[in-house]
Structure 1
Amino acid sequence: MDLEQNKENAIAFYKTAYLGNPKKAMELYGGDNYKQHNPLVADGKQAFIDYFDRMHKEFPEKSIDFVRIIAENDLVSLHTHQIWPDNDQYVTMDFFKFDDNGKIIEHWDSIQQIPETAMHNNTMY
């Protein structure tokens, strides 16, 4: 496994889909089969494309920053900061599993809204 290439591919996959071109993301970086673990997204490549197409139409003005990228064996984890309309902010952690050809075949995520106040001065990053 080429961990550095997998990290670059995970970022490109997510960014391409998030910014409005999930079909291209899946064509370039998706494996033969795509297994989804997010309960709000159906399984498979077309379901991924449909979800991100709908999200981009409903929320075209959003941004994403990649805070941390960690790779081990066949997994890459992305720690991101997302800003949605009305300054609605989220921290996300996405895990992508790669096949032997460097293609993404599985996805897990965890999403948490960043609150306006906290019990401490630490950031979520």
Structure 2
Amino acid sequence: MNLENNKANAIAFYRTAYMGNPKEAVNLYVGKTYIQHNPDVEDGKAGFIAYFERMQQEYPNKSIEFVRCIAEGDLVALHTHQEWPGNDQYVTMDFFRFDDDGKIVEHWDAIQQIPKTSANPNTMY
């Protein structure tokens, strides 16, 4: 496993899909199968493409910042800050599993809306 390549490919995959081209993201970065654990997205490549095509149609002005990227073994974790229309902001943590060919084959995530107030002065990053 080349951890640096996997990290770069996880970021490129997510950025490409998020910014409106999920078909290209799948063609370039996904292996033979794609196992999806997010309950809002159908399993497989077609489900991933359909979800991100819909998000691009409904929310073309969204943005993403990659705050952290950590790799170990066949896993890459991304910590992101997403901003959606109306200043709706989210923290996400995405985990991708790579196959032996360096292609993404499985995905998990956790998403939390950034609250308007906090009990402490620290950011969520």
1:82 equivalent to 2:60? Answer no
In structure 2, C-alpha distance between the alignment counterparts of 1:74 and 1:42, rounded to whole Å: 23
In structure 2, the partner of 1:96 is 96
Q: Which residue of 2 aligns with 1:14?
A: 14
TM-score under structure 2 length normalisation: 1.00
**In the alignment, residue 115 of structure 2 is paired with which amino acid?**
P
Which sections of structure 1, spanning at least 5 residues, go unmatched?
none
Q: Which residue of 1 aligns with 2:65?
A: 65
What amino acid is the match of 1:105? V
- State the AA in 1 paired with 2:31: G
Cα drift, residue 24 of structure 1:
0.1
Say what the alpha-carbon RMSD is for the aligned residues.
0.3
Could you tell me the TM-score, scaled by structure 1's length?
Answer: 1.00
- In the TM superposition, what is the alpha-carbon distance from 1:85 to its structure 2 partner? 0.3
Specify the code of the residue in structure 1 equivalent to 2:54: R
What is the letter of the counterpart of residue 100 of structure 1?
D
Q: How many residues align?
A: 125
Identity value in percent: 70
Following TM superposition, where does structure 1 have runs of at least 4 consecutive aligned residues deviating by more than 2 angstroms?
none
Name the counterpart of 2:117: 117
CA positional deviation for 1:94: 0.0
